[in-house]
């Protein structure tokens, strides 16, 4: 189980969209939508209560990586625009993350999953817990890395090696091959025709990996399945490249990994002010009692909001998000003297 020294890596958009759609028709008295703010605040509070993390970061997508578009021009082209109600809340969600002490990391040509993968692979000696429901991230699970999947009933479901095997019938090290066979409709990645989850798992149980299968097709005894794989070899190779996460941390753009994973304590007073301004009454009730007094809201002015970027017509989700910030990690609400450990020392 993760503890306070486990670095928590949050896949921001996956959680923001999850809470946005899980909670509807919630707004301030003046009509300003607050459903994503409420759900996200509850998620961050739950993390503090259960794990009190002292290391970690929050990761945002920053457009579609060029190498994936070269492989598949239609990659994620089926994503709908960001709902207007969520777009209004995005700058405040980033501010809220900063008030809870999270650094925000994003980088041009990296999706959030890639940055999470690069963080895990660049520090294999450390323990990580990934907050996401994205099955692609299951490829990172090992003895020191797990996923924490928010449960509908509250709390988190821990997905470790054993849970991955139970859910997919393949090991984490086989997830890339497994998804390469299935494809992903949500990302507009075509799978091998006629191959479903059960067949894909059976192939990998028999052959061990797709590389081993293509070296020795006799490892798959079913002739029809074997022919499907052999006739789809180029598609499978492309899919593996699309699904495999990047492994090198972009230090030139974001600085040393260790500095990005400094998690500050929550600023409960400012969180209380934020909750009052946006009328998040049940969030207020969950804060430490000493911060229940009626204090005015103080904006997180210690760090400016991310610099506005020109709208990219090929933005990752066609969302027109104006808060995307490339080439650095945003240390929201962090003062200039915030401690940064030396490179290689995360905790």
Q: How many CB atoms lie within 10 A of CB 160?
A: 16
pLDDT digits (tens, 9 = 90+) for 109-160: 999 999 999 999 999 999 999 999 999 999 999 999 999 999 887 789 999 9
Taking residues 77-94, what's their average pLDDT? Answer: 95
* pLDDT exceeds 70 at position 51: yes
Q: What is the pLDDT of residue 184?
A: 94
Percent of the residues in the chain that have a pLDDT greater than 90, as a whole number: 77
Q: Is the pLDDT confidence value at 335 over 50?
A: no
In this prediction, residue 291 carries a pLDDT of: 83
pLDDT, tens digit (0-9, with 9 covering 90-100), for 168-188? 999 999 999 999 999 999 899
* Weakest-pLDDT range from 9-18, 87-96, 327-336: 327-336
Strands 128-131 and 104-106: unpaired
Average pLDDT taken over every residue of the chain: 86
Report the helix count and the strand count for the chain, using DSSP H and E.
Answer: 15, 7
Q: Scanning the structure block, which residue is given the tokens 């399945």?
A: 225
Which pLDDT score is estimated for 320?
A: 32
Q: What is the mean pLDDT of residues 319-342?
A: 35
Query: For 150-198, what is the HEC assignment?
Result: ECCCCCEEEECHHHHHHHHCCCHHHHHHHHHHHCEHHHCECCCCCCCHH
Burial of 301 (0-12, 13-18, 19+ CB in 10 A): exposed
Phi/psi of residue 189, each to 5°?
A: -105, 115
Say how far apart CA 291 and CA 271 lie, in whole Å: 9
Q: Residue 297: what pLDDT?
A: 55
pLDDT of the residue at 2 = 76
Residue with more model confidence, 295 or 287:
287
State pTM to two decimals. 0.84
Cα dihedral 306, 319, 99, 44 in deg (nearest 10)? -150
Class for the domain spanning 7-165+246-330: alpha beta
Give the pLDDT of residue 340.
30
pLDDT band (50, 70, 90) for residue 330:
very low
| Tens digits of residue pLDDT in 32-50 | 999 999 999 999 999 999 9
Interval 248-252 mean pLDDT: 97
Q: Which CATH number describes the domain made up of 169-243?
A: 1.10.150.20
Interior CA angle at 240 toward 237 and 244, to 5°? 150
Domain spans, the chain: 7-165+246-330, 169-243
pLDDT given at position 93: 98
């Amino acid at each position: 189980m993760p503890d306070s020294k486990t670095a928590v890596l949050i896949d921001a958009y996956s959680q923001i969209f999850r809470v946005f759609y899980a909670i509807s028709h919630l707004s301030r008295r003046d009509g300003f939508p607050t459903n994503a703010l409420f759900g996200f605040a509850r998620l961050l509070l739950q993390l503090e209560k259960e794990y009190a993390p002292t290391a970690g970061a929050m990761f945002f997508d920053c457009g579609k990586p060029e190498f994936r578009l070269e492989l598949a021009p239609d990659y994620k082209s089926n994503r709908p625009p960001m709902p207007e109600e969520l777009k209004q809340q995005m700058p405040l969600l980033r501010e809220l993350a900063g008030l809870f002490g999270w650094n925000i990391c994003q980088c041009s040509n990296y999706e959030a999953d890639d940055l999470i993968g690069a963080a895990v692979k660049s520090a294999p000696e450390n323990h990580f817990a990934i907050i996401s429901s994205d099955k692609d991230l299951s490829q990172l699970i090992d003895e020191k890395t797990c996923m924490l999947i928010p449960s509908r009933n509250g709390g988190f479901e821990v997905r470790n090696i054993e849970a991955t095997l139970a859910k997919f019938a393949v090991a984490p090290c086989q997830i890339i091959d497994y998804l390469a066979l299935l494809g992903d409709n949500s990302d507009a990645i075509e799978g091998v025709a006629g191959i479903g989850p059960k067949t894909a798992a059976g192939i990998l149980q028999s052959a061990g990996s797709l590389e081993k299968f293509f070296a020795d097709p006799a490892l798959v005894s079913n002739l029809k399945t074997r022919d499907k794989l052999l006739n789809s070899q180029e598609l499978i190779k492309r899919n593996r490249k699309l699904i495999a996460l990047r492994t090198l941390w972009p230090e030139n753009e974001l600085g040393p990994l260790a500095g990005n994973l400094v998690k500050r304590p929550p600023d409960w007073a400012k969180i209380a002010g934020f909750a009052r301004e946006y009328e998040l009454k049940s969030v207020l009730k969950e804060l430490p009692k000493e911060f229940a007094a009626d204090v005015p809201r103080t904006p997180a002015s210690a760090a400016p909001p991310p610099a506005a970027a020109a709208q990219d017509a090929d933005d990752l989700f066609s969302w027109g998000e104006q808060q995307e910030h490339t080439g650095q990690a945003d240390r929201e609400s962090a003062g200039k003297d915030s401690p940064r450990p030396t490179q290689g020392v995360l905790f």
